[in-house]
Amino acid sequence: MNISRYQEKLLDKALEAGFIEAEVYYEQKKSFQCMLYKGEIDSYETSEDGGLSLRGLYNGKMGYSYTEKLDDDSISFLINSAKANANILDEDEGIDIFGGSTKYTSYDYYNEELETIGIPEKIELLRSIEQKIRAYDSRIVTLDYCLLQEYTAERSLANSKNLALSHKENGLVLFLSTVVKDGEEMKSGSYLKMTRDFHSLHADDIAKEAAEEALANLGEKSIPGGKYPIVLRSDASASLLSTFMPILSAENAQKDQSLLKGKVGHKVASEAFTLLSTPFHPAALSGASFDGEGVATKEQAIILEGTLQTLLHNRKTAKKDNCETTGHAHKDSYKGALSIAPQNLYISTGEKSLDELIHTVTNGVFITELSGLHSGTNTVSGDFSVAAKGFHIQDGKIASPVKQMTIAGNFFEFLNDIKGASSELYFLPNGYGSSSLLVKELSVTVE
Amino acid sequence: MIKQSIIENVLEAALATGGDFSEIFIEDKYVNEYVLQSGKIEQSIAGRDFGIGIRIFSGLQSIYTYTNDFSEEGLLAAAKRAALAIEGGGSGTIHPLHREIITPIHQILHLPHTVEHARKTAVMRQADSIARNYDSRINQVKVRYLDEQQNVLIANSEGKFVEDTRVYSRLSMQATATEGTEVQTGFYGPGAHAGFEFIEKLDLNHYAGEAARIAVTMLHADECPSGKFPVIIDNEFGGVIFHEACGHGLEATAVAKNNSVFANRIGERVAPEIVTYIDDGTLPNEWGSLNIDDEGEKTRKNVLIENGILKGYLIDKFNARRMDAQPTGSSRRQSYRFNPTSRMTNTYIAPGTSEPADIIASTEYGIYAKYMGGGQVSPSTGDYNFAVMEAYILKDGKIERPVRGATLIGNGAKTLQLVDRVGNNLAHGAGMCGSLSGSLPVNVGQPMIRVSEITVGGTKGE
């Protein structure tokens, strides 16, 4: 199947069928994944797949459909479904298909070398990491995940206004979860690493970090519940940020689902807090030079030293608010409708190292992992109460791991309570990043 | 969907390097999803998911590959690519395919694609107006309608050849209540393995009304206190706590490699005698039900814990090898993109004898969790956490006042030991469960239960 010919044919047929304008979006992905268990390949997966969506203006409304089967029958399925869906909509979005930005920044999201390194070499690395972790300490019982994942993805957007954009990216992700046991106490610790540079992966360093992450959790103690100053490690902070991202969406603000409505130009966080969005960051794997509508993306400050600079817009919300789109139209894949999401959103770094931040706390808690974020958070009110793993800080030093905890607070208050950001930056594979943060206080409950 | 002779060739090609089992899973799925917000239908998507997953076993090694290239050359290339991962010799044999006709246990009356769009959107508008009219403080309502028809064909080198159609319908409602700077939400999302008849029969006054009532109730709720309390968890979706705290630890994915606190403990007491825990994929038209699992095995009623004694696990074909056990009709996958593994279907605590009113009346002080939110567990340690959507303080046997921001944390195996009351009002609730083989429709269920002590995390310091 020749994709560009299929795209062309679909666009022609859509216009013939009464669409005023139309856009075809195509995505294809190749992936490889391997999981080891005691040196043996436990599971091995490969894939080559993709899909295509049609978005078009019909009777003044934007119809949408997708398929993963690319044959002639699907052309009529796509056109008829998109038409029917346009008819169901109550709202005339007032948005047309985008004609293109004047300039797109080119940036390398693809490293050919990663793809040319053979699968056996990658499995060998994983095997050596597993071996080194198992040998690292007698308290290491097993690894419940020892996983390597690699992908190459391509997407293209073509429309009846002669815009044709394409993007190619690849990456490799390692995920390790180590189970440790001391007497009756059983704990686990997870480790995640992503890169486009295979040669940056060193088995000794990775095994040490992964093993230490789990071993550190042994010897847990209880501390009294109450309000404590908190140091939130960068990875935990990035996952909290990713959960509360919807408050930045102009669409949510317009629908009364964000308390940041009407707050542009106002102070919404402490001066120690700066939030940046950039499609181009060497430490992040995601991003693209165009957004889900084909608008050129750029680096910008969302919150600068505590002041909200802008909400995240696509063309529809920008039109409603009478401003320019910020290039944050987002398509999860060809299956999803157009929504709003950032490209690499991260909490900017500060001057002090993580140790120096911890050093400022006399009696507090250092949080290294949050879980239950999908259920214990309310992005509308900002309230959160989530499970946490971490350590007691005593007199500026990490004392001991704490039994299972919950931390609770309100995200809007949390933003105002940030007293400092560390100098290191960590990105999650989903493009959210953060430095470690020192926070005035949060409620801590200990099991 | 694909010619039988091609399927045979693919199964054979997959065994060319010495694999001892091959399987093909073909999926053709039609999806419709509409979203209503601010009183308007503002999103509607129709789509077709189509693809093929090929799986090979070689001893305790599992190879999986998927593609949506449905040409014979494409499929053979995928099978050969997967087979390359096996460094064995010789070639396995395939048994002649024998078409199995299944008798559907979940009757579908109105296939979604035969129902006019306007009838679907009319239900959404009705739910929207019920929630809005509940209280003037409801200022936003989001209604999501979803229907799916998933056609699958499963064939394997042991001669299995079976087709099935699964139809899903779900309506979910989220209401937002606002007063001054306070904002709270309430949610209800009933779903079924059924056609449009399920949506049309829904008691919208109840579901949309409850979503609105929860949001309004939580507006003026106090912050939840922290500490260790007796906790009463109401029926239906309350069952999510044992889904996380215990269900995941009984899946072969965790048990086969001893990564579960429940591994190697069949026959042992793991809970008080009043606890019986069951997974049943045959419950007619329930959200987590199936005729056959994603390996083509008939679903069944699996008793996991009977009167407190551990009786069984949920086992898929691959983990059955490591465990030297039989599969239990529990192998599932979100789509052809996922290597299937042992998962729950409709899991529930069997009804006991206590009257719910008596359970409440006999509790001096504690937390009453009327509606649970979602949760999470680490199967290797059994540590879990949950959000409570609607919680109350119980005092002197009475429900005193609503509290918000309650999170329950603890250890599944320990919490299970602390169940001291099981009510007689079993009900099931629909949810989505995310794990190794993707996101799946599952039911969680239970009657009202009481746990003598759970750690409650709240926003109000001690």
Same domain for B318 and B430?
Answer: yes
Mean pLDDT computed over B124-128: 98
- pLDDT computed for residue B180 by the predictor: 85
Q: What is the pLDDT confidence band of residue B323, given thresholds at 50, 70 and 90?
A: very high
User: Residue B382 pLDDT > 90, yes or no?
Assistant: no
Spans of all domains in chain A? 3-88, 112-215, 220-447
Same domain for B215 and B234?
Answer: no
Same domain for B286 and B375?
Answer: yes
The C-alpha of B353 sits at a distance from chain A's nearest C-alpha, in angstroms, of 31
Q: What is the mean pLDDT of chain B?
A: 94
In a domain, B88, yes or no: yes
Instruction: Select from B38, B46, B83 the least CA-distant residue to B61.
Output: B83
Number of domains within chain B: 3
Residue A64 touches chain B, beta carbons under 8 Å: yes
Residue A184 touches chain B, beta carbons under 8 Å: no
Name the residue facing A48 among B64, B67, B379 (closest C-beta): B67
User: Residue B460 pLDDT > 70, yes or no?
Assistant: no
Task: Kindly report the CATH class assigned to A3-88.
Answer: alpha beta
Same domain for B187 and B283?
Answer: no
Count of residues in chain B: 462
Q: What is the mean pLDDT of chain A?
A: 95
Residue A5 touches chain B, beta carbons under 8 Å: no
User: Residue A426 pLDDT > 90, yes or no?
Assistant: yes
In a domain, B37, yes or no: no
Partner-chain contact B410 A227, CB within 8 Å: no
Same domain for B117 and B69?
Answer: no
A149: amino acid identity, one letter? Q
Mean pLDDT computed over B87-103: 85
Nearest CA in chain B to A253: B140
| Strands A226-232 and B419-422, bridge-based pairing | unpaired
- pLDDT computed for residue B13 by the predictor: 95
Residue A339 touches chain B, beta carbons under 8 Å: no
Task: State the ipTM, two decimals.
Answer: 0.90
Partner-chain contact B257 A144, CB within 8 Å: yes
Name the residue facing A68 among B51, B385, B406 (closest C-beta): B51
Mean pLDDT computed over A254-279: 96
Report the percentage of chain A scoring pLDDT > 90: 89
pLDDT (tens digit per residue) in A141-184: 999 899 999 999 999 999 999 999 999 999 999 999 999 999 98
C-alpha dist (Å) from residue A18 to A91, B182, B446: 19, 47, 53
User: Residue B462 pLDDT > 60, yes or no?
Assistant: no
Name the residue facing B259 among A40, A179, A381 (closest C-beta): A179
pLDDT (tens digit per residue) in A363-408: 999 999 999 898 889 898 898 999 999 999 999 999 999 999 999 9
- pLDDT computed for residue B461 by the predictor: 54
Q: What is the pLDDT confidence band of residue B72, given thresholds at 50, 70 and 90?
A: very high
* Tokens describing residue B20: 């001892």
Same domain for B238 and B352?
Answer: yes
Same domain for B185 and B231?
Answer: no
Report the percentage of chain A scoring pLDDT > 70: 99
Partner-chain contact B460 A443, CB within 8 Å: yes
Same domain for B314 and B440?
Answer: yes
Q: What's B26's domain CATH number?
A: 3.30.2290.10
Q: How far, rounded to the nearest angstrom, does the alpha carbon of residue B68 sit from its chain's CA centroid?
A: 26
Partner-chain contact B40 A50, CB within 8 Å: no
Partner-chain contact B405 A256, CB within 8 Å: no
C-alpha dist (Å) from residue B376 to A239, A440, B379: 15, 28, 9
What is the rounded radius of gyration, in angstroms, for the C-alpha atoms of chain A? Answer: 24
pLDDT (tens digit per residue) in B409-426: 999 999 999 999 999 999
Strands in A432-434's sheet, in edge-to-edge order, are A307-308, A300-304, A275-277, A345-347, A432-434, A426-427
Write down which residue in B173, B196, B221 finishes a domain: B221
User: Residue B182 pLDDT > 90, yes or no?
Assistant: no
In a domain, B40, yes or no: no
Same domain for B57 and B181?
Answer: no
Mean pLDDT computed over A341-351: 96
- pLDDT computed for residue B230 by the predictor: 97
Partner-chain contact A186 B68, CB within 8 Å: no
Which chain A residues are within 8 Å of B62, Cβ to Cβ? 42-44
Same domain for B209 and B310?
Answer: no
Same domain for B407 and B364?
Answer: yes
For residue B449, the cross-strand partners are B233, B422
Partner-chain contact B65 A45, CB within 8 Å: yes
Give which of B36, B321, B381 to mutate to test A binding, by max A Cβ within 10 Å: B381
In total, the C-beta contacts within 8 angstroms joining chain A to chain B are 236
In a domain, B146, yes or no: yes
Same domain for B231 and B364?
Answer: yes
Give which of B52, B140, B409 to mutate to test A binding, by max A Cβ within 10 Å: B409
Report the percentage of chain B scoring pLDDT > 90: 87
Name the residue facing B380 among A144, A257, A380 (closest C-beta): A144
- pLDDT computed for residue A4 by the predictor: 87
- pLDDT computed for residue B309 by the predictor: 98
Cut 0.90: pTM above it: yes
β strands within B180-276, DSSP E:
182-188, 191-192, 222-223, 227-233
Mean pLDDT computed over B317-333: 97
**Residue environment code for A80-95, b if the CB has 16+ CB neighbours within 10 A, otherwise e:** ebbbbbbebbeeebeb
What is the distance between the alpha carbons of residues B277 and B270, in angstroms, rounded to a whole number? 11
Partner-chain contact A256 B176, CB within 8 Å: yes
Write down which residue in B189, B221, B253 finishes a domain: B221
- pLDDT computed for residue A3 by the predictor: 86
| Strands A426-427 and B40-58, bridge-based pairing | unpaired
Contact present, A35 and A317 (Cβ < 8 Å): no
A112-215: which CATH number, 3.40.50.2300, 3.50.30.30, 3.30.2290.10, 3.40.50.850? 3.30.2290.10
In a domain, B434, yes or no: yes
Shared fold status for A3-88 and A112-215: yes
Q: Which domain range does residue B355 map to?
A: 227-457
A296: amino acid identity, one letter? A
Which chain B residues are within 8 Å of A179, Cβ to Cβ? 259, 380-381
User: Residue A1 pLDDT > 90, yes or no?
Assistant: no
